[in-house]
A and B are shown apart, each in its own frame.
Chain A
Amino acid sequence: MTDVMIDARDLTKHYGAVTALKNATFQVNRGEVVGFLGPNGAGKTTAMKILTCFIAPSGGTARIAGADIFDDPIAVREAIGYLPESTPLYTEMLVLEYLEFVGKMRGLSGGGLQARLRRVVEETSLGDVIGKSIGELSKGFRQRVGLAQALIHEPPVLILDEPMSGLDPNQASEIRELIREIGRERTVILSTHNLAEVRLTCGRVLIISQGELVADDTPDELAARAGKPRFVATLRTNGHSASDIHEAFSAIGDAQSVQEQTGAAAGELIVEVVPKGNQDLRADIFHAAVSANLVLLGLEQRGENLEDIFRELTTGAGASS
């Protein structure tokens, strides 16, 4: 058994004159949770539809768990659990009835099917709604039914198209926990346009923009690329003028620049301090504030700013074309 579970080579898809995906090449290993990140219409869904053999690429090919999408689409589908965008389900069916149907389609039967049903219902906390019709369920529960059907045959590869969309924060954190757990032994690709999501769930990020793969890195490495950290301090001025405060912080040896930020409440001031290198200035800022008789109300380290990289990568590509 190979450890490369998803091996995509030069995937290209044209819809008429529109190129939805251009030469996308990437690998995903067993035990990885990879985030497909990009603005709407970037080609994430197209890539996922190709990997699940719903559509064929115009060029290139991919292997899932060793099976080629052209030569053995059935083996590919067997290896994949798939949650399509917006979770299409048969709304007139009962939850249990639906999961049984999917289980049978996935080749399960008898005691094996019952055991797996119990397990996925437990994993996705569907116990309370098992006898309801899917049409009656809230978005969060439907999403869980969608996940349950993707998990029922214990697939080595999970492909989830926007699994978190429409979930409230509590539901999202439950699902996130579940995905992380699944990702320990198996391979998960999930798409999202939510950066915070990626940081919390994924070990690796593929950023896709206008059909092209523009980055393939861990969230931390991507963040490091964003450049220096920045420190943002909120202070009570205690009657000191802005220029005094500015002076106090500029005195920090490793500080390259000190900038006043907008948005402070009355009697408060927000300053951003950028270090010369990658130094951690939090302690220095604290001491500078104390010695200048300022009250430090808040201190925050920023700069692992995925948003910035994302914007740069996804709009930068657009500007050059």
Chain B
Amino acid sequence: MNHILTIGGRQFRSYFNGPVAYIVICIIMLTLGFFFWNTFFLYGRASAREMFRWLGLILVFALPALTMGLLAEEKRTGTIELLITMPVTEAQVILGKFLGVLGLFAVLLVLTLAYPISVSTLGNLDWGPVWSGYLGLFLQGSAVLAIGLMASSWTSNQLIALFVALTLSVFFWVLDKFLALLPTSAASALEWLSFDYHFQSMARGVVDLRDVLFFFSVTIFALALAFRALESRRWS
């Protein structure tokens, strides 16, 4: 556990030693602000629903930028060799890296609290759906980050990692948008695989264990594949 925390802590701090974290945080806050306040007064309701709708989508696009370098950059520069040859297991490396980026994501989520807080000064905000929405964001974000880490474990090129992670996360997000074109049986299966389907119910204030488990499973699955990829290096 100590090793995981040490790796995670280093990763977390290293984000703030470079520009990536600041850029991504700025872009997310600005885009969110634009989309949110753009329509907020139109609806004239003290609700954060719109924020979650937009943030869910923005994160799917933005988070892969945080994960792309996690392992790809270490492989390109060779630092992975020093990391792995310390007395740690591959699983500890993967979990540490994941924890590091998850920490940055948590900071980001805390920053977005500025929006519901400012809404609550304008009207009577129901905080229940806000918290469940944040849980949804955190879970969906974890899944996107795990997919990004997995993509980063497959290549030593950050851009390829970014592209693969974006493709996969957008694919899972967009799955339930074309349901009308499909036969019902296929439609319900696709809907169930879609990130947005599970996320939106939480953004409405419904915390269903099945939604939680869904994101949890995607996260674990992606981390397990990243572990496999990192370990396979030994036998190549």
Contacts and interface: CB of A to CB of B under 8 A. Distances in A.
Interface in B66-96: 77-82, 84-89
A217 interface: no
Interface stretch (B10-18, B28-36, B50-58, B114-122): B10-18
Nearest to B10: A101
B234 A88 contact: no
A88 B77 contact: yes
Contacts of B81: 49, 54, 82, 84, 88
Contacts of B188: none
A77 B85 contact: yes
Interface string A103-116: 01111000000000
Dominant secondary structure at the B interface: helix
Contacts of B80: 88
B228 interface: no
A97 B14 CA distance: 11
A211 B2 CA distance: 39
A101 B234 CA distance: 24
B87 A107 contact: yes
B86 A53 contact: no
Contact of B14 (A78, A84, A93, A105): A93
Interface in A84-104: 84-86, 88-93, 97, 101-102, 104
B80 to A, nearest CB: 8
Given A55-B234, A56-B235, A105-B6, A92 B14 contact: yes
A82 B82 CA distance: 7
B74 to A, nearest CB: 8
B69 to A, nearest CB: 11
B204 interface: no
Interface of A: 15, 49, 52-56, 74-75, 77-78, 80, 82, 84-86, 88-93, 97, 101-102, 104-107, 133, 149
A308 to B, nearest CB: 34
22 contacts: A15-B236, A53-B84, A53-B85, A53-B234, A54-B84, A55-B235, A74-B87, A74-B89, A75-B87, A77-B87, A82-B82, A82-B85, A86-B78, A88-B82, A90-B10, A92-B14, A92-B17, A92-B18, A105-B6, A105-B7, A107-B87, A149-B82
A79 B81 CA distance: 16
Contacts of A97: 13
A106 B79 contact: no
B87 A84 contact: no
A248 B141 CA distance: 89
Given A74-B87, A93-B14, A84 B82 contact: yes
A310 B136 CA distance: 65
Given A78-B87, A84-B82, 5 more contacts: A54-B81, A55-B236, A89-B82, A93-B10, A93-B17
Contacts of A85: 78
Contact of B79 (A74, A77, A89): A89
B210 interface: no
A84 B86 contact: no
Contacts of B84: 53-54
A88 B79 contact: yes
A75 B14 CA distance: 28
Contacts of A104: 2, 6
With most chain B CB atoms within 10 A of its CB, the pick from A80, A105, A133, A149 is A105
B204 to A, nearest CB: 41
Interface string B167-190: 000000000000000000000000
Contacts of A74: 87-89
Q: A-B pairs with the 9 shortest C-beta distances?
A: A88-B78, A92-B17, A77-B87, A52-B85, A88-B79, A56-B234, A78-B87, A105-B86, A84-B81
